[in-house]
Amino acid sequence: MQYTQLGRTGLKVSRLCLGTMNFGPNTTEDDAVAIMDQALELGINFWDTANVYGWKSGEGVTEQILGRFFARGGGRRDKVVLATKVYGNMGEWPNQARLSALHIRRACEHSLKRLQTDHIDLYQMHHVDRHAPWDEIWQAFEVLVTQGKVLYVGSSNFAGWQIAHAQMEARARHFLGLVSEQSLYNLTERTLELEVIPACRQFGLGLIPWSPLASGVLGGKLKAQETLSRRQEEWGQKVYHRNQEAADRYEVFCKELGHPPADVALGWLLHNMAVTAPIIGPRTVAQLEASVRALDLKLDETALKKLDEIWPGPGGEAPEAYAW
């Protein structure tokens, strides 16, 4: 396994991040345990989850599965850089969602209990909360860090200016602030290249792309629908029909390269110096093991140029992408 630093921190994480969103709704607990054990065997030490995963309001189904796995012992928890998230709706009452200090504190306590651990390595805001001021948010996280319940703080689905705002507010408090941003980024969706990636680079955030295969479209979608949940398949169909011509050209090009489409999509992300670790979300051990192949895939300048032709980005960084 290959490792890198998480943003500007001294923390070492694997170049692939194990996504657990399928655990519970689409992958049985027994299969999830097999996947997690194999991930450790492969050296994948960076794992991502969220309190809302499992999609049963307030239950944190996926976190509970991870917690029972860690409780098996054998050093499982100590081997993992564990990331989870706060923001999503965990109940019907007014303060059971978003980023008030009250919800951050309560959500952290509940996640710790479900995960059967005493600390969260990377606690991520799942979305920006436009109604919560940064002095309230950072004060809440500072308390959790001081208590030893959280080690690092990350964001997810933030715009570039929101990352900059958060970091400047944290700097004024002499607080480390954000160390990572988890965003939608793949060959079909490259909007991040305008401002989010430059912001991550400027402020030292590691970039953790989610949906690296665009809901299966970049993995030979039409030939592998059985590997997707109904929810993923419906979303993937929308992405495919929006990009049908490019997707067909992409599969032809991957065949010419002699590599599976999924490997090429992951390899393209890993080639980007801004990317820390794409999130892979295997439903089976076989899918997990297949993802590791991408670590050894090298794309030359000719291949990268061809991929840019098939999947053109926004034209570079802002403002040069749209101004003189």
Q: Which fold has domain 13-215+261-300?
A: TIM Barrel (3.20.20)
Domain ranges (residues) in the chain: 13-215+261-300
Sort residue 144 into left (φ over 0), alpha (ψ -120 to 50) or beta: alpha
pTM (predicted TM-score): 0.94
Length reported for the chain: 324
CB atoms within 10 A of CB 119: 17
pLDDT at 234: 73
From the CA atom positions of the chain, what is the Rg in Å?
A: 19
Tokens, residue 233: 């398949």
- Annotated catalytic residue 152: no
How far apart CA 179 and CA 157 sit, in angstroms, is 14
Q: Which position has the token pair 């290249």? A: 193
**Residue at 128: amino acid letter:** V
As to burial, measured by CB atoms within 10 angstroms (0-12 exposed, 13-18 middle, 19+ buried), residue 50 is buried
Give average pLDDT by consecutive 10-residue segment, the chain, 324 residues. Answer: 98 98 96 98 98 94 98 98 97 96 98 98 98 98 98 98 98 98 98 98 98 93 51 70 91 97 98 97 96 96 98 96 94
pLDDT at 226: 45
pLDDT at 12: 98
Q: Which of 53, 87, 240, 250 is catalytic?
A: 53
How far apart CA 290 and CA 52 sit, in angstroms, is 27
How far apart CA 178 and CA 122 sit, in angstroms, is 10
